[in-house]
Amino acid sequence: MTEFTLTLKNKDYSKYGLTGNPFPFSGVPDEHPNVYIGQDEVLTKINSVLSSTVLTGQSNHIIVTGSYGNGKSHTLKFIKSHIRDQFSEKSDTPICVGYVSQPGENFLDIYTKFMYDLGYSFVKHISQEYLGLIAYQLSKEGLIEEKIRKGQGWKQIEKGDVLISDIVPKAIQRLNDGIKFVDYTRAFIALSYEENSIYSWEWLCGEGVEYTKRQELSLGKNINDTNSIRALGSLKFILKELGFSSLILLIDEFEYIETLPSLKKQKMLNYLRHVIDLNGEGLSLIIACAPEVWQNIVAEYHAFSERIGKEANLKPLDQEKIRMLLISYLNNKRTKKNDSFSPFTERSIEQIYIHSQGNTRRVISLSSQALDVSLDLDKKSIEQDVLISIISN
């Protein structure tokens, strides 16, 4: 009987001036990518859409198209990572951005994935900040005796300067006056309480919460496909109250809707159209989709496609951009950064270009394999014969 023993052995890439293999083994983009090469036109168009929303307040949307492996997911994750770093809640113009890996079968799926990407900690934090804001407003209006400093409301509640029981009823009243969605109001405010926060979070994410738990939170129905649009609008309202300039919804693999039955597909597109129509301010949708599917949507569903203002197309990389991509990845693991594509050679890059056809995912996958094979063969550089052997196998 054959046995298998897993042997763990680190590879030594130092002969190439590297501390490790810089390329993702499967070609799948990192969750927080810091390399983005060869698609400057796409970034320029996305920047134009987002900056117009942030600066004018008017909603603006864009579709990002590109064949499989040309960087749609990488682009959305790159945008998400950099916006969160640059425009966190601590900045002068905070932006809320969330990523949806796939639309699913209805808008509730989109909403749920969006909420989970924002995360429990973030949403609980804004719930607490909202209570702090109401405490500040009540203090300023003379409705509570305590002096609450601007931006310090929740900290003063935690310190006991003001009782949370004095704030919650007014917070519920004022929030519901704004969003007119009492269940969402109660769940969002209750998220601040440690004993109720998990159930409130599940409800806010669109997960079904059993009846007895809803009773404890004074909630009626669970969020469903229909009122998930209202739930997203409610969150956007709260974010605006807290000074967020806009909400950005990134939807990846939109071509998935092509697998849905015709009626479900039409319903999904209608819901997204309603989201756009109901949120004329402070919202940007950035949708990534295979070009052939997007063309079908343009041809068959004008009511939705005409509401997407711009299109940006991801194109295959040429040899020069492949060089730039390799240099950027190599510098992530280099002991000393430089502008060389060594240990790759011109001929090996030519082979990568020919056999990848400029497809970013295949470029990264081939590069990763070639680096490891060359290291195992104790080669001084990555030659074209290594690429040819990998491709032929």
Per-residue pLDDT in tens (0 to 9) along the chain, 393 residues: 667 776 667 789 999 999 999 998 766 667 777 777 778 899 999 999 999 999 999 999 999 999 888 889 999 999 999 999 888 777 788 999 999 999 999 999 999 999 999 999 999 999 999 999 999 999 999 998 889 898 899 999 989 898 898 999 999 999 999 999 999 999 999 999 877 789 999 999 999 889 999 998 899 999 999 999 999 999 999 999 999 999 999 999 999 999 999 999 999 999 999 999 999 999 999 999 999 999 999 999 988 999 997 999 999 999 999 999 999 999 999 989 999 999 999 999 999 999 999 999 999 999 999 999 999 999 999 999 988 888 887
State the maximum Cα–Cα separation within the chain, in Å, rounded to a whole number: 81
Q: Are 23 and 329 in contact (CB under 8 A)?
A: yes
Angle between helices 182-190 and 164-179 (to 10 degrees): 150
CA distances, 301 to each of 105, 253, 260 (Å):
17, 18, 15
CB atoms under 10 Å from CB of 241, counted, come to 17
For position 27, what pLDDT does the model report?
Answer: 60
Q: What is the DSSP letter of 22?
A: -
CA distances, 285 to each of 5, 40, 138, 303 (Å):
49, 20, 35, 16
The rounded distance, in Å, linking the Cα atoms of 71 and 361 is 7
Residue 258 structure tokens: 């092509």
Q: Which residue has tokens 């070609």? A: 27
List the CATH code of the domain at 40-47+55-106+226-313: 3.40.50.300
- E runs forming strands in the chain: 62-65, 95-100, 246-251, 283-289, 310-313
Q: Are 312 and 41 in contact (CB under 8 A)?
A: yes
Q: What are phi and psi of 131, to 5 degrees?
A: -60, -40
Q: Are 146 and 163 in contact (CB under 8 A)?
A: no
Q: Which amino acid is at 239?
A: L
For position 321, what pLDDT does the model report?
Answer: 93
- E runs forming strands in 192-316: 246-251, 283-289, 310-313
| Beta-bridge partner residues of 313 | 65
For position 138, what pLDDT does the model report?
Answer: 93
Round to the nearest angstrom and report the end-to-end CA distance of the chain: 29
Q: Are 241 and 130 in contact (CB under 8 A)?
A: yes
Q: Are 30 and 252 in contact (CB under 8 A)?
A: no
Residues 6+ apart with CB under 8 A from 276: 59, 61, 283, 285, 307
For position 11, what pLDDT does the model report?
Answer: 87
CA distances, 4 to each of 7, 8, 12, 160, 245 (Å):
9, 13, 24, 60, 56
Sorted by where each begins, the domain ranges of the chain are 14-25+317-392, 40-47+55-106+226-313, 121-216
List the CATH code of the domain at 14-25+317-392: 1.10.8
DSSP result, 55-114: HH-B---EEEE--TTSSHHHHHHHHHHHHHHHS-TTSSS-EEEEEES---SSHHHHHHHH
